[in-house]
Amino acid sequence: MTIAGQSFTVTQAAATPTCTSYTISPTSNNFTSNGGAGSVSVTANTGCAWTASSSQSWIVVTSGSSGSGNGTVAYNVAQNTSTSSRTGTITIAGQTFTVTQAAATPTCTGYTITPTSNNLASNGGAGSVSVTANTGCTWTASSSQGWIVVTSGSSGSGNGTVAYNVAQNTSTSSRTGTITIAGQTFTVTQAAATPTCTGYTITPTSNNLASNGGAGSVSVTANTGCTWTASSSQGWIVVTSGSSGSGNGTVAY
């Protein structure tokens, strides 16, 4: 302004900016376990200041930790070595930016089972096996025989337990079966049933010989596993073979 030939200067301050409508884009990002870098765009009125800070040490703001008006925030996500996923945030201009990172792929070796075998009586029964595995490592359990049944824990992940049941063995022979658990072999050995040892029969039940004497034989019929013996009551009758046996057999005299 000119007053009486003199200049009068007026200086006016700028209007205070309206700093209420901060926006960020995008508002989230998903990363693999390997991690990586990313960026977020900030939209703000001219002169409106803002800051950016991470809630987690594995998310690092690499540039744009503060700014004014429009800007960009760059960040880096570290590798996730855990077998659990994780979530963290960056607060930018009062807005929340969410980072979700996948779990590391577990190392699935070194499965172990305890115990590795069990011996059962002919009556059968129940048992269990403990499985040790890394977190996130899956496994299955399956029986090789119909008389061994996996009752729980046919599949699992990480540490777990497999329960099984062994049926009664009605055979007079022992038997062996396996359960494959997490690639390992669990062995079940079951004793034979105790034989029912009644009803022995012999054929013939008598023999007539001339004065010259001679040889003969007797067939024995008995259940499998049932033992027997043969002995003479007289010195002139000699058992020449089959003085003892099991199951069916022959006595020679």
CATH architecture of 112-190: Sandwich (2.60)
> Lowest-confidence range among 88-92, 183-187, 231-235?
231-235
Output the DSSP codes for 65-120: SEEESSEEEEEEE----SSS-EEEEEEETTEEEEEEEPPPPP-----EEE-SEEEE
Tell me if the domain spanning 23-101 has CATH number 3.10.129.10.
no
Tokens representing residue 77 in the block: 């996500």
Question: Is 0.95 surpassed by the pTM of this model?
Answer: no
- For residue 249, give Cα distances in angstroms to 200, 220, 226, 231: 11, 5, 11, 15
Residue 13 has pLDDT above 80, yes or no: no
Distance in angstroms (rounded) separating the CA atoms of residues 95 and 26 = 11
- For residue 250, give Cα distances in angstroms to 75, 181, 200, 204, 239: 92, 48, 13, 11, 11
Give the pLDDT confidence of 167-200 residue by residue, as tens digits: 999 998 999 999 999 999 999 999 999 888 888 9
